[in-house]
Amino acid sequence: PSRIQLIIQIKRSSLSSYNQNIKTKSSVVFQEMELTFGLSLLCLLLAIGLKLLRQPKKNLPPGPPGLPIIGHLHLLKNPIHRRFHKLSQKYGPVMSLRFGSRFVVVVSTPEAVEECFSKNDVVLANRPPFLNGKYLNYNFTTLASAGYGDHWRNLRRLSSIEIFSATRLKSFLDIRKDEVMHLVSRLHHVSKDGFAKVELRSLFLDETFNVIMRMMAGKRYFGENVDGAEEAAQFKQHMQDYTALTKVTNLGDLFPLLGFIDIGGLRKKMIDLSEKFDLFLQRIIDEHRSDKTRNSMVSHLLQLQETQPEYYSDAIIKGLILIMAIAGTKTSAMTMEWVMSNLLKNPHVLKKAREMLDAQVGHDRLMDESDFSKLPYLQNIIYESFRLNPTNPLLVPHYSSGDCTIGGYHVPKGTMVFANSWAIHRDPSLWEDPLTFKPERFENSKHDTYKIMPFGVGRRACPGEPLAMRVMTLTLGALIQSFDWEIIPGEEFNMKEFLAITMTRVDPLKLHCKSRPHLTNIVSA
């Protein structure tokens, strides 16, 4: 037995030694792999830097000195539009920067913007080829992400004629009125007995999402009385995940040569979400295909699919639903939040608007879209808020498909171009007393396309402007007409902004709200 025990001990010792050697070798291998990866990454970044240094110096727009490899990324501080404005005051209205290896041009005057989107409109009619366009926008095939060409022109035609035409929008008027009444009823419920504290951002988001999804799919997903609690919760989660992922900066977007590295698993997260979203949207289409009595945009598009399948494929319809939900909701909700913020900061404007509503509409009903022509001041209020607090202060970035010239400077192919509308909207050479909220400045005057740009300019301007203006005007008119509003005593009220995808208030807007006496009869009618 002692001899057997000795043999066992020797074997155990040998096995332990072997395992230890394996661990040591594995550790060394992993260390060598990490070192190799680090050296490869360093060499790649140095190669990028050398390539940039060796490029011939053409007449590029001026800009601040950059750092090797990262360019001007160290200068980017939120709010970025304010940072760009400060830099452009030093380097001029056509300024260049580098975001990693991406060449960027920022324009900050109406003249430069006009040159971009008139003379260079076709060259700049593209979007940057970012990761989210590939994995969250059906491989660059949605209206927001597709490159300029026949496919994009078809999507633009489809959206303009089949979704945003006056006839089509009129057919969905009852949805807009119903959602405004839902919002008014929710506020009345909590404020009918006196002032109540309300947070408006979430209410505006619920309303705008419901308007879009009821138009597109005939379903109500937000707020009270939703169509299918589980389905609604799933849609909300998908939307939250989509917003969160598009806020993340992808290193490969700034250094395309590093695009093969899935840093932080961002690509995998986008792929997973796109698959979930696709299943959700396909289910909506399949439901409408099996029930042709539904009245929605999906039903209408499926009818067109029967005769023109190449223009109205399932993929195109899903992309339209997605972009309507993403682009057609948050910007309108954030704009309404800014409008209410400006009205509470300028109570004389709020008072004037209410007096006009009382005179033109009365107390027996909520205002309707047929009242818009009698209430130009209300729409001037919205445009003045667009001017001071644009939700897209740099517009959506454009991308040059070829070399072009802006302001006499050479802009090479593959350049990202930003138009700093925030700076233009506050330029004292263009606007009298530019920091004052004064809706009267828009009376008896047409909106200069390159002087105020709430919906963008050029071929890629937002086609949803008619719907957005209808929703915002109807909603804000109802809130002004139906409630007394005041800043909450003792709480700080500021107008600080933060730019993520859209420019939002740092703090969600909270106000005191009280139903006006006539509202009870309107709500209970």
Is the peptide bond between 79 and the residue preceding it cis, with omega within 30 degrees of 0?
A: yes
- Binding-site positions read 462
Tokens at residue 440, please? 């009267």
Strands ordered across the beta sheet of 196-199: 196-199, 510-515, 483-486
Rounded CA-CA distance 242/280 in Å is 14
Please enumerate, as own/partner, the contacts of 309-313 that have beta carbons within 8 Å and a separation of 24 or more.
Answer: 311/154, 311/158, 312/158
Tokens at residue 522, please? 């309107």
CB 100 within 8 A of CB 128: no
What pLDDT does residue 349 have? 99
For residues 388-402, one letter each, b for 16 or more C-beta atoms within 10 angstroms of the residue's C-beta and e for the rest, the string is bbbbbbbbbbbbbbe
Residue 488 DSSP label = P
- Domain 132-524, classified CATH 1.10.630.10, yes or no: yes
Site of tokens 């580098």 = 98
CB 254 within 8 A of CB 73: yes
Q: Which amino acid is at 238?
A: H
CB 143 within 8 A of CB 319: yes
What pLDDT does residue 486 have? 98
Parse the chain into domains and list their residue ranges: 1-55, 132-524
CB 417 within 8 A of CB 124: yes
In 3D, which of 52, 47, 51 has the Cα closest to residue 96?
52
- Number of Cβ atoms within 10 Å of the Cβ of 40: 10
Residues 6+ apart with CB under 8 A from 254: 73, 99, 100, 101, 102
For residues 275-288, one letter each, b for 16 or more C-beta atoms within 10 angstroms of the residue's C-beta and e for the rest, the string is eebeebbeebbeeb
∠ at Cα 42 (38, 47), nearest 5°? 150
What pLDDT does residue 501 have? 78
Tokens at residue 195, please? 């002032």
What pLDDT does residue 27 have? 47
- Binding-site positions for heme read 462
Rounded CA-CA distance 81/420 in Å is 7
Residue 501 DSSP label = S
CB 298 within 8 A of CB 285: yes
What pLDDT does residue 226 have? 86
In 3D, which of 470, 391, 484 has the Cα closest to residue 211?
470
CB 522 within 8 A of CB 365: yes
Low-confidence residues of the chain, pLDDT below 50?
Answer: 1, 7, 11, 15, 18, 22-37
Entry pTM: 0.88
Q: Which amino acid is at 374?
A: K
Tokens at residue 122, please? 């076709």
Tokens at residue 289, please? 């295909």
* 196-199 and 510-515 beta bridge pairing: antiparallel
| Spacing of C-alpha 30 from chain mean position | 42
- Number of Cβ atoms within 10 Å of the Cβ of 120: 20
**CA gyration radius for the chain?**
28
In 3D, which of 488, 106, 151, 86 has the Cα closest to residue 319?
151
Three-state SS string across 117-174, please?
A: HHHCCCCCCECCCCHHHHHCCCCCCCCCCCCCCHHHHHHHHHHHHHHCCHHHHHHCHH
Residues 6+ apart with CB under 8 A from 424: 108, 109, 110, 113, 430, 450, 451, 452, 453
What pLDDT does residue 26 have? 44
**DSSP three-state, residue 203:** helix
Tokens at residue 513, please? 């709200």
Rounded CA-CA distance 146/140 in Å is 5
Chain segment 344-388, per-residue pLDDT in tens? 999 999 999 999 999 999 999 999 999 999 999 999 999 999 999
- Burial of 338 from C-beta contacts in 10 A (0-12 / 13-18 / 19+): buried
